[in-house]
Amino acid sequence: MLPVLGNGFMPVIHTAFPLTYTFPFGEMIAFLMLLPYVKTVPKTIRTASYGIALSGLLISLTISMNIAILGSDIVSRATFPTYTAISKVNIAEILQRLDVLVLLSLIISSYFKIGTFYFAAVLAASDLFKITYNKLAVTIGLCILFSSMIIANNFSEHLEEGLIVIPPYFHLPFQAGIPLLLLIILKIRFRHR
């Protein structure tokens, strides 16, 4: 864990942008599609801000825990470092095999994440094309299903595409470029009214 910033600040910047920006924090743009369904927007934004801060803290603590348990070399090579770290827990031969809980947590959180993105995509397409979301739900669901089957043949291909290919060409435009462009257009339209 030491030295902190041993190679300077630039490696941190290269890791943070675009990877850490796009995943997990850039994915919050999908939650903007849910804001029209919220009754108290300011309170929700404040609560979401606390959630974002807490998520950042938990991610930092989890990474620190993984490095403390496994070491930086194993963490950098492990596919799921938290799963590997938890599988090493063995307290008095009684409390062990906790990796099942981590795996269950990953499956449940992935299910809700995919569901949220799917719902946001259907709402966005419905709003953009002025088609009822009932007609788009099946179409977008089938697109997700088929693309999940043809995009990557194995897990290493999935990681390469998800961490190297997709962030600069898809994540940045959809998570930063288009929302910023829409915000600028909105500001210009309200200024001229």
Q: How many CA atoms lie within 13 A of 150 on its CB side?
A: 6
For residue 92, the tally of other CB atoms under 10 A from its CB is 6
Helix or strand or coil: residue 90? strand
Q: Side-chain half-sphere of 167: how many Cα atoms within 13 Å? A: 19
- Is 14 a domain residue? no
- Give domain status of residue 121, yes or no: yes
- Do the domain assignments include residue 62? no
Looking at residue 81, its amino acid is P
Domain of residue 114 covers: 92-151
State residue 48's pLDDT score: 86
3-state secondary structure of 95: strand
pLDDT in 10s for each residue of the chain, 193 residues = 566 777 777 777 776 676 666 776 677 788 888 888 888 888 888 998 898 899 889 988 998 999 998 988 898 888 888 888 888 887 777 777 788 888 898 899 989 989 998 999 899 889 888 888 888 999 999 999 998 888 888 888 888 888 788 888 888 888 888 888 988 998 898 887 7
pTM for the predicted model, two decimal places? 0.75
Judge whether 112 lies within some domain.
Answer: yes
With respect to residue 134, please indicate whether it lies within any of the assigned structural domains: yes
Q: Is residue 137 part of a domain?
A: yes
Q: How many domains does the chain have?
A: 1
Residue 56: inside a domain: no
In a domain, 139, yes or no: yes
CA 81 to CA 92: how far, in whole Å? 23
Q: Given this model, what pLDDT does residue 1 score? A: 58
Instruction: Give residue for tokens 């974002």.
Output: 52
- Note the pLDDT of residue 2: 60
